[in-house]
Amino acid sequence: MSVAREEFASTAALRETMGAYYRALGDAAERKSAPVAWCTSVGPAELLRALGFAVHFPENHAAMLGAARTANRYLPVAHAQGYSQDICSYLTSDVGAYLAGETPLSAFGLRELPRADVLVFNTNQCRDVRDWFEWYGRQWNVPVVGVNSPRSVGDVTEAEVDDVTVQLEALVPVLEAVAGARLDAARLAAAIGAARDASSLWEQCLLTATQRPSPLTFFDGTIHMGPAVVLRGATEAARYYRTLLSELQARVAAKSAAVPGEALRLYWDGMPVWGRLRALSTTFAEFRTAVVASTYCNSWIFSTLDPADPLRSMARSSVELFIARSDGPKERYIERMVELYDVDGIVFHDCRTCPNNTNTRYGMPRRLSERLGIPTLMLDGDVNDLRCFSDEQARTNIEGFVEQIADARTATARAARA
């Protein structure tokens, strides 16, 4: 059964915003109009922008490979270089595509990946990003620097914030030398302010899904989050989210549903399955089920950024990141989200090559189900390696999960009438 839905008018502005970003990045790399820095997706992008770098985010590039369903062509190329099939398929598909001399950025006029003058990581998400960047550092003989961030953080302490702040401060002279410019305090404050503005607007966009019916889903969010990732610290991101927020607010007022006939609401924890976004979106919609919120899309909300205290607020945002926390804070966060978005169940993606952003393996789904009184579903898959995902199995599991929730509702209603 096909489910008709209204497309977002903002998508045209999204394409224009993202296209302009990629073209400017390509121009900087080819014409040497600005130094190029590679940055992990939740690395110190604001610092790099303040120093005048054009910034490339390899995770974004890898997600494009996954969404285009070309990643599996490139994975074996990296495996042949000694990189295990069990490590991050973002890393292996990106390295494989580089070795194959191919990139989806060719659609924006780039002949190749923008060559880095420096690669800057933050291990708040995983160790793989450092290994990933060091591979390119060896290829091009360029500096690789970054932050070795605390992991499995419980309640955030000032000592942990101090640790990351000192490491950020130590990056400044290295990056100044590469950029050939001194860090200007006003430019850094402006970059932090722009990042906070975009973050706030992105949060407001996501919060429209607390309404019934929801005007957007997790699957929409994975597409529209692009500027929050690649334009953090640039004014273009906030400009785009004002456009999107206006459309979402209009949809809420008109009760325009992202999933027509919305009957059930779910929360998604874990990474997207990039090569099956449309298929999964369609499957849930067929069962009149809206996946209204996710840990993933909310991970680009940095509400503690402060232009008056740039580096320390960047450090705090890094340490507070969901993926860097221990299970206690993670579970409390998901509990708040379940209440805020009034969901009927939680879907956990058990991502084969991303254990750092997979929360299914140490009992969390069962603990949350028992505490919250709602069911959980675990879907096997991967961010990019589609050999780990079965359409048939996913559909069967989703259908059974939806029926479980519906049957529980019916039983509760009967008990109330008795």
Q: pLDDT tens digits for the chain (418 residues)?
A: 455 567 899 999 999 999 999 999 999 999 999 999 999 999 999 999 999 999 999 999 999 999 999 999 999 999 999 999 999 999 999 999 999 999 999 999 999 999 999 999 999 999 999 999 999 999 999 999 999 999 999 999 999 999 999 999 999 999 999 999 999 999 999 999 999 999 999 999 999 999 999 999 999 999 999 999 999 999 999 999 999 999 999 999 999 999 999 999 999 999 999 999 999 999 999 999 999 999 999 999 999 999 999 999 999 999 999 999 999 999 999 999 999 999 999 999 999 999 999 999 999 999 999 999 999 999 999 999 999 999 999 999 999 999 999 988 877 777 777 6
pLDDT at 404: 95
Q: Is residue 2 part of a domain?
A: no
Determine the structural domain holding residue 129 and report its residue range. Answer: 11-417
Q: Is residue 317 part of a domain?
A: yes
pLDDT at 4: 58
Verify cis geometry, omega within 30 degrees of 0, for the bond prior to 213: yes
Match 């932050």 to its residue by tokens.
147
pLDDT at 226: 98
pLDDT at 57: 98
Q: Please give the tally of structural domains in the chain.
A: 1
Q: Is residue 89 part of a domain?
A: yes
pLDDT at 5: 65
Q: Is residue 308 part of a domain?
A: yes
- d(CA 400, CA 93) in angstroms, rounded, equals 33
- d(CA 90, CA 110) in angstroms, rounded, equals 20
pLDDT at 217: 98
Tokens of 418: 């008795």
β-strands 289-294, 376-381 pairing: unpaired
